[in-house]
Amino acid sequence: MLSNEDSDRLEAACSETVGQALRSIVYFTEDDFDQVHLKDYLSAEADIAAFVDNEREGFHRVSTHEGSELGRYEYTIRRFERGYLVRVISNSKGVFVTTNPLPIEEFDELASAVERVMKTWNE
């Protein structure tokens, strides 16, 4: 999936942006996924595949929003009882990052950091 270098860059960008609030990072495509980062205190047995399947729906949803009066799709944020999930999709690649609770403004910074790293994968 991702090279070690790309994984390291993605993890560094997320860590620099949200610090200790970072819980996990998952890179995914239509066919596969790779867990890039997982905090020690989280279960490695969690059903990541179910989350990935749900977030893959975004590949199709992004295209339905093209030309919307709302503008270009940027990212999706989901709020859960104990944290957040931020998903960024670019072409046929996606990344979702889970965090502990943060001020809402920090999610713009996180999504921008992920998007900057993803743009380098297309070069």
The whole-number mean pLDDT for each consecutive block of 10 residues of the chain, a chain of 123 residues, reads: 94 97 96 94 84 86 71 90 94 94 93 95 71
- Amino acid at the residue 58: G
CATH 3.40.640.10 for domain 4-121, yes or no, is: no
What pLDDT, on a 0 to 100 scale, did the predictor assign at position 44? Answer: 79
Amino acid at 14: C
For the entire predicted model, the pTM comes to 0.90
Buried b (16+ CB within 10 A) or exposed e, 33-44: bbbbbbeeeeee
From residue 103, how far is each of 83, 108, 116 by CA, in Å? 11, 10, 21
Q: Does residue 95 contact residue 54 with C-beta atoms inside 8 Å?
A: no
